């Protein structure tokens, strides 16, 4: 029998976890601690709604895109209840970044194929007599984030590679990352990259603790961003991300020309 939402009128089919905050959140453990504390939000201080998890409760509905419908409905209701909210964003995982980077490093035959000269200069004093490529491979499979020197030395490299992954790496012209593709297609922009935003075992294994905020602009900008991504394969980014792209010299992949249909 096919699943029927009308047959389950009192059963939630999709759950959207939302944190009401003074500003867009950058750490999922901080959000979870706030929620678990039972502290009631002060309506006078709420300026941002952060969507940090979307999950389906019904196995038969998995794969059906109900998340965007729920986000749009949540935005409408939150704007009505809290008119002072100015920002709507996600705090999203980057589920396959670590696997992508480790594969890239395993296939590299030379350190310069993965690391910039500046990154090599930063990492060599920490690596000691071990070559940089081997040192980073070994470090990323251990508790690297607990060592201040290694964590600091790796931050620039991991940030640059994550930007490359989110903005440059493509699948059929669209974002390689499935979470990014979902939010960009719905009109969001890549707003901020958050260092060590999820230090749980899952967060570290999936993305070395990095998480990304996708910001949902309102009204016309949302539609324009969505159309630009779907039809022109253009990724919308914030000024902060654009500055990071310039700093790390990450060149966005050229968008193919739109084909009339």
Summarize pLDDT for 153-191 with one digit per residue, the tens.
999 999 999 999 999 999 999 999 999 999 999 999 999
Phi, psi dihedral angles at 117 (to 5 degrees): -60, -40
Is the pLDDT score of 252 beyond 70? no
Query: Can you tell me the distance from the alpha carbon of 185 to that of 233, in angstroms, rounded to the nearest whole number?
Result: 9
What pLDDT band is residue 9 in, cutting at 50, 70 and 90?
A: low
pLDDT tens digit sequence for 55-77: 655 554 455 455 567 788 888 89
Write the pLDDT tens digit of every residue in 216-229. 998 889 899 999 99
**Sequence ranges of the chain with CATH classification 3.40.630.180:** 10-90
- Catalytic machinery residues: 92, 183
Q: What is the pLDDT, as a whole number, of residue 109?
A: 86
257: confidence class by pLDDT, cuts 50, 70, 90: very low
Contact between 213 and 197 under an 8 Å Cβ cutoff? The reply is: no
The reported pLDDT for the residue numbered 1 is 37
Q: What is the mean pLDDT of residues 3-23?
A: 69
pLDDT tens, 197-207? 999 999 999 99
Q: Helix 132-140 and helix 148-163: axis angle, to 10°?
A: 100
Distance CA 130, CA 110 (A): 14
**CATH assignment, 10-90:** 3.40.630.180
Distance from C-alpha of 70 to C-alpha of 207, rounded to nearest angstrom? 26
Cα separation, 183 vs 197, whole angstroms: 19
């Amino acid at each position: 029998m096919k699943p029927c939402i009308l047959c389950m009128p009192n059963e939630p089919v999709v759950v959207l976890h939302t944190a009401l905050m003074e500003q867009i959140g950058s750490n999922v453990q901080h959000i979870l601690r706030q929620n678990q504390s039972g502290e009631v939000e002060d309506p006078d201080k709420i300026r941002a709604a952060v969507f940090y998890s979307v999950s389906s409760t019904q196995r038969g509905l998995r794969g059906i895109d109900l998340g965007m419908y729920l986000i749009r409905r949540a935005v409408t209701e939150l704007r009505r209840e809290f008119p002072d909210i100015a920002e709507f964003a996600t705090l999203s995982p980057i589920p396959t970044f670590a696997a992508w980077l480790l594969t890239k490093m395993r296939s590299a035959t030379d350190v310069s194929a993965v690391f910039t000269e500046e990154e090599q200069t930063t990492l060599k004093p920490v690596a000691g007599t071990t070559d940089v490529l081997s040192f980073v491979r070994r470090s990323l499979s251990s508790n690297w984030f607990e060592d201040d020197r290694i964590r600091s030395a790796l931050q620039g490299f991991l940030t640059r590679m994550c930007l490359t992954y989110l903005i440059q790496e493509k699948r059929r012209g669209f974002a390689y990352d499935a979470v990014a593709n979902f939010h960009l297609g719905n009109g969001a922009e890549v707003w901020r990259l958050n260092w060590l935003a999820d230090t749980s075992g899952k967060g570290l294994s999936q993305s070395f603790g990095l998480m990304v905020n996708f910001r949902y602009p309102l009204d016309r900008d949302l539609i324009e961003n969505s159309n630009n991504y779907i039809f022109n394969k253009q990724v919308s980014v914030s000024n902060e991300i654009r500055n990071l792209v310039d700093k790390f010299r990450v060149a966005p992949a050229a968008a193919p020309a739109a084909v009339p249909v």
